[in-house]
A and B are shown apart, each in its own frame.
Chain A
Amino acid sequence: MDPIKYFTFSMILSILGIRGILLNRRNIPIMSMPIESMLLAVNSNFLVFSVSSDDMMGQSFASLVPTVAAAESAIGLAIIVMTFRVRGTIAVEFINSIQG
């Protein structure tokens, strides 16, 4: 039960999430997926550390983080829908109407 292996797994997920946000070239709604991936990777990190150090705080934190992540993704989708209604396009290249 080596925590390093599980920690590596969630670290890779988290880094893939960061990569997804920073290197997104397709469209905007796709950006909410890497955000979720980052939050859930950290969640599994908490669970791994909680089990390996036999402490309950990690598990209590891990049950609270997804509620916040769900609220955030709901608000994210609402804002993305509003952006689409105003603009008519979801391509990332067009998010530059504020210059400078």
Chain B
Amino acid sequence: MFNLFLAVSPEIFIINATSILLIHGVVFSTSKKYDYPPLVSNVGWLGLLSVLITLLLLAAGAPLLTIAHLFWNNLFRRDNFTYFCQILLLLSTAGTISMCFDSSEQERFDAFEFIVLIPLPTRSMLFMISAHDSIAMYLAIEPQSLCFYVIAASKRKSEFSTEAGSKYLILGAFSSGILLFGCSMIYGSTGATHFDQLAKILTGYEITGARSSGLFMGILSIAVGFLFKITAVPFHMWAPDIYEGSPTPVTAFLSIAPKISISANILRVSIYGSYGATLQQIFFFCSIASMILGALAAMAQTKVKRPLAHSSIGHVGYICTGFSCGTIEGIQSLLIGIFIYALMTIDAFAIVSALRQTRVKYIADLGALAKTNPISAITFSITMFSYAGIPPLAGFCSKFYLFFAALGCGAYFLAPVGVVTSVIGRFYYIRLAKRMFFDTPRTWILYEPMDRNKSLLLAMTSSFITSSFLYPSPLFSVTHQMALSSYL
């Protein structure tokens, strides 16, 4: 019995920390004795600290993985794959919390509940990564989505933010309904919800002739529900609107953390649970469509956040390439892609939120950034070039390995499409760099220097982006270990 609780001690800690933070915030911010202080930065730093302590608990609890036997047949499963995915998730969450401080201060955003609503979906995402049963998966996806609906609509007086929140609500509830429908069809056809049981039942079901239309519909619906949540292309309905309307730290959180955890979940379902050609075809089609749309749709944009949303859709397309080849190189390249995508996105949104302090919304406002703020212009250019896939940067490394894995498993149509869309998509990334370096705007905008948290975050992520080409082997060996352990 003890083993059960010791093995989930990171989640227990973060749940308790969130509750205590909430109570602390409510008690002190409504107390007349202290003159009703707005506790945003206080709760913010404590929230960041609790996420980092959770990371410490997770890292220190690694030997406990071997004694968490009680989990294996029930709802969760802990192995090296979940360990490293959870570490990545917690690092990304810590990064996005540290982006929030200055923007809350600048925009007079006095609600400390916003900070409390960041560790709360993190707890659900930690459960989601280790979920090994349809019930656990659904029950972890839902609270995560609910918290995101709330923080997307958190600026109550802004029309954009409430519209983004209501659109996200409808999109998320619809996709959860479809996901749950898929779970029920699979349960109805096989009588099993646990992924171990499903792996045994669905082994080669297309070949042995045990195919039933209920099973096919169930797997299709689960894939569609997941693709809605990861905003892949035929199902990306309102994702750019949601990304643009939400407040910037929320957009950052939204484009990094659910992608990590839902990708981990899709990996469990599609590679472990139901390995077969059905899902491979769906992901094949979606990755091609996402890559094409991500490259083409961002060209006509004039605002700053929408091209980032479209480029994240394009990147999801590249990541789905890893799903559609069912080999170990495929999973490894997928995990490398997710890791590098998370770092690049933290980088990009940190810069965008630093620039937004003086109400930058349009790309044209970025003009002559190189003359007023040369270092942030250089960092932004490095991030954009890494998104584009220019060689010595980390983005090229991830795309190269993804296409390499796609070619290695025989998806000979996917890799050329990926390369061509990558080249086409470079246009608007380089256009951003051109605007910064070579354009003079009609009115010059002076940007305030960014605060210490964001500059530290930018230093860490951009140094990783530039230097990972020289020494990529820790990343490669970690992801190889993750890929292998997700097969066992």
| Pair from one complex | yes
A contact residues vs B (CB 8 Å cutoff): 3, 7, 14, 17-18, 21, 28, 31-32, 35, 38-39, 41-42, 45-46, 48-49, 53, 55, 57-58, 60-61, 64-65, 68, 71-72, 75-76, 78-80, 82-83, 85-87, 95, 97-98, 100
Q: How far is the CB of B217 from chain A (nearest CB, A)?
A: 10
CB of A87 within 8 A of CB of B180, answer no
| CB neighbors of A among B167-199 (8 A) | 167, 169-170, 173-174, 176-178, 180-181, 183-185, 187-188, 191, 193
> In the assembled complex, how far is the CB of residue A94 from the closest CB belonging to chain B, in whole angstroms?
9
A75 lies within 8 A of B181 (CB) = no
Asked if B180 and A79 make an inter-chain contact with CB atoms under 8 angstroms apart, the answer reads no
- The reply to whether the CB of B163 lies closer than 8 angstroms to some CB of chain A is yes
Question: B167's contact among A58, A60, A95, by CB below 8 Å, is which?
Answer: A95
Complex: A9 Cα to B316 Cα, angstroms: 36
**How many positions in chain B have a CB within 8 Å of any CB in the partner chain?**
43
Q: Is the CB of A57 within 8 A of B187?
A: yes
From residue A32, how far is it (CB to closest CB) to chain B in Å?
A: 8
Query: A80 and B174: CB pair below 8 A?
Result: no
Q: A49-B188, A49-B191, A71-B146 are in contact. List 4 more A-B contacts (CB 8 A).
A: A58-B187, A71-B143, A98-B160, A100-B240
Query: Distance (Å) between the CB of B90 and the closest chain A CB?
Result: 24
Question: Given the complex of chains A and B, what is the CA–CA distance between A78 and B244 in angstroms?
Answer: 21
Q: Are A45 and B181 in contact (CB under 8 A)?
A: yes
Whether B79 is near chain A, meaning CB under 8 Å from some CB there, is no
Main DSSP-derived SS at the B contact region = helix
Q: A78 vs B149: C-alpha distance in the bound complex, in angstroms?
A: 10
Nearest-neighbour CB distance to chain A for B271, whole angstroms, equals 23
Residue B442 interfacial (CB < 8 Å)? no
Query: Does chain A have a CB within 8 A of B306?
Result: yes
Asked whether B159 is an interface residue with its Cβ less than 8 Å from the other chain, the reply is yes
Q: Which residues of A are found within 8 Å of B165, using beta-carbon distances?
A: 79, 82-83
A68 partner, pick from B142, B156, B181, beta carbons under 8 A: B142
Bound-state CA distance A53–B193 (Å) is 13
In the complex, B80 has a CB within 8 A of chain A: no
What are 19 A-B contacts with C-beta separation under 8 Å?
A: A3-B188, A14-B177, A21-B170, A35-B170, A45-B185, A49-B191, A53-B188, A58-B187, A61-B135, A61-B193, A64-B135, A68-B143, A71-B142, A71-B143, A72-B173, A76-B169, A85-B156, A95-B166, A100-B301
A82 B163 Cβ-Cβ under 8 A = no
- Name which residue of chain B comes closest to A52, CB basis: B188
How far is it, in angstroms, between the C-alpha of A100 and the C-alpha of B299 when the chains are bound?
A: 12
Whether B173 contacts A35 by the Cβ 8 Å rule is: yes
B139 within 8 A of A: yes
Least CB distance from A47 to B in Å reads 10
Please indicate which of the listed interface residues A28, A41, A82 has the most CB atoms of chain B within 10 Å of its own CB.
Answer: A82
Given A64-B139, A95-B163: A79 in contact with B146 (beta carbons within 8 A)? no
Are B191 and A53 in contact, CB atoms less than 8 angstroms apart?
yes
**Cα separation A62 to B193 with both chains bound (whole Å):** 13
Q: A87-B159, A100-B306 are in contact. Are A46 and B187 (CB under 8 A)?
A: yes
The answer to the question of B153 belonging to the interface, with a C-beta cut-off of 8 Å to chain A, is yes
Shortest Cβ distance from residue A31 to the other chain B in the assembled complex, whole angstroms = 6
**B135 cross-chain contacts in A, Cβ below 8 A:** 57, 60-61, 64
CB distance from A3 to the nearest CB of B (A): 8
Using Cβ atoms and an 8 Å threshold, which residues of chain B touch A55?
A: 191
**Residues of A contacting B156 in the complex (Cβ-Cβ under 8 angstroms):** 82, 85-86
- Asked whether any CB of chain A lies closer than 8 Å to the CB of B164, the reply is yes
Complex-state Cα separation, A83 to B153, whole angstroms: 9
Q: Which residue from B153, B178, B244 sits with its C-beta under 8 Å from A98?
A: B244
B158 an interface residue at 8 Å Cβ cutoff? yes
Which residues of chain B are near A42, meaning CB under 8 Å? Answer: 177, 180-181, 183-184
A21, B174: Cβ atoms closer than 8 Å: yes
Expressed in whole angstroms, the Cα–Cα distance for A2 and B26 within the complex equals 54
Q: With a CB–CB cut-off of 8 A, which chain B residues contact A86?
A: 156-159, 162
